[in-house]
């Protein structure tokens, strides 16, 4: 019986040591995160990978692509530039169906000089089109809610009204 108590005491001591070590590691990780500064967004914006996103979700009337872009720029941002599948999945998870299956959220992709170009000047390499790649000059692009993220982009014509997504760099606070 004495041996069992001694084993229990040893195990309890080891457990307490492990708990303390775990707390130390957690604190070190938190300090490292703070050393890099922390990132925040304005109210009603969502933080994702050091960027802030505003999903314009107001009731009608919605906005044309150009009006949407001006709205974003007035708020120190631009229409979202989707850089990879992970960002596309993030966008898809944060948009909701509204009005009809033909409405979505404007993104910063447009057809310029026979090329699909993002508002930051990059050429599109992802091509998450809902159907075959369209090619209408001057077209703008919106993402359809409740679709597979890899085939949810649709071209829209000038004057078509949609909701939209703005993107900006997150605000970085210096380390404490």
The answer on 68 and 24 residing in a single domain is no
Bridge partners of 123, per DSSP, are 117
Q: Residue 162 maps to which CATH number? A: 3.10.100.10
Query: What pTM does this model have?
Result: 0.76
pLDDT at 35: 46
Q: Which mean pLDDT values do the consecutive 10-residue runs of the chain (176 residues) have?
A: 74 69 56 63 94 94 97 98 97 95 95 93 93 77 95 91 97 75
Are 124 and 88 contacting, i.e. CB atoms less than 8 angstroms apart? no
The answer on 80 and 17 residing in a single domain is no
Domain housing 83 = 39-170
The answer on 112 and 55 residing in a single domain is yes
The number of domains in the chain is 2
Whole-angstrom CA distances from 135 to 58, 142, 159 are 30, 14, 18
CA proximity to 162, closest of 99, 108, 118: 99
Tell me whether residue 175 is in a domain: no
Tell me whether residue 93 is in a domain: yes
The answer on 24 and 44 residing in a single domain is no
The answer on 89 and 45 residing in a single domain is yes
The answer on 70 and 17 residing in a single domain is no
CA proximity to 80, closest of 115, 112, 45: 45
The answer on 53 and 24 residing in a single domain is no
């Amino acid at each position: 019986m004495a041996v069992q108590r001694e084993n229990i005491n040893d195990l309890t001591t080891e457990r307490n040591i492990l708990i303390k070590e775990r707390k130390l590691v957690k604190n070190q990780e938190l300090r490292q995160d703070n050393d890099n500064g922390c990132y925040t967004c304005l109210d009603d914006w969502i933080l994702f990978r050091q960027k802030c996103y505003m999903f314009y979700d107001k009731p009608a009337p919605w906005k044309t692509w150009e009006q949407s872009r001006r709205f974003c720029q007035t708020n120190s941002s631009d229409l979202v530039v989707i850089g990879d599948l992970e960002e596309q999945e993030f966008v898809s998870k944060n948009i909701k169906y509204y009005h009809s299956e033909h409405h979505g959220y404007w993104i910063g992709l447009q057809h310029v000089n026979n090329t699909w170009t993002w508002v930051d000047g990059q050429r599109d390499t992802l091509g998450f089109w809902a159907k075959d790649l369209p090619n209408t000059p001057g077209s703008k692009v919106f993402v359809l809610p409740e679709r597979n993220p890899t085939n949810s982009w649709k071209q829209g014509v000038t004057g078509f009204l949609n909701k939209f997504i703005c993107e900006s760099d997150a605000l970085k606070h210096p380390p404490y």
